[in-house]
Amino acid sequence: MKMAEKKHLNSSLLERLATNGFRFTPQREHVYSVLLEKRDHPTAEEVFIRAKRRMPDISMATVYNCLDALVKCRLVRQVALERGAARFCPNMQEHSHFYCDSCEQVFDVNLPPEPVIGLPRGFKAERYDIAIHGRCPECKT
């Protein structure tokens, strides 16, 4: 990434953190950059491993703290597909998730215009989470 790009990213990260009452720290910057680098769906553990490579002293507690801040700033989505560790997704476009029951990989899938589900009277939907389970192309028998 070019210097100018990085500076811009960081100033917008700072802004986003600030408007949500968070401080800008090297750890938060780094965790965010780690997520943007490889746009998959790592667990906190996996983020920790990747973050440590260039910031060996970062702690697991901080990774959780950073992920939490990023989620609260809406720079990252937290996804709960299967039971077990939560996963984090840096793709903030509206999309749903395909979970391959065989290789356990998670794929982004574009959503149709709007999933028209008739809710009973009085219910107010804020957000739809669509998880599709099945086999990815690699694992199709």
| Residue ranges binding a copy of itself (CB under 8 A) | 78, 80-83, 86, 96, 98, 101, 107, 109-112, 115-137, 140
Q: Give 17's contacts (C-beta < 8 A, 6+ positions apart).
A: 23, 24, 28, 69, 73
Q: How far is the CB of 87 from a copy of itself (least distance, A)?
A: 10
Out of a copy of itself, Mn ion, Zn ion, none, what residue 89 binds, judged by CB under 5 to 8 A for its kind, is Mn ion
Rounded distance, CA 15 to CA 97, Å?
Answer: 29
49 scored as a contact of DNA (CB under 7 A)? no
Closest CA to 97 of 85, 107, 111: 107
Q: Tell me if 4 contacts DNA by CB under 7 A.
A: no
- Answer yes or no whether residue 139 interacts with Zn ion by CB under 5 A: yes
CA angle 51, 22, 49 (to 5 degrees): 10
CA distances from residue 7 to 3, 12, 16, 70, 135 in whole angstroms, order as listed: 6, 9, 14, 18, 40
Q: Which of 102, 109, 129, 134 binds Zn ion (CB under 5 A)?
A: 102
107 touches DNA (CB under 7 A): no
* Residue 102 interacts with which of a copy of itself, Mn ion, Zn ion, none, CB < 5 to 8 Å by class: Zn ion
- Closest approach of DNA to the CB of residue 115, in Å: 26
What is the token pair recorded at 134?
């099945």
Stretch of residues binding Zn ion (CB under 5 A), selected from 3-11, 22-30, 101-109, 119-127: 101-109
Closest approach of Cβ 83 to a copy of itself, in Å? 5
For residue 91, the SS3 value is coil
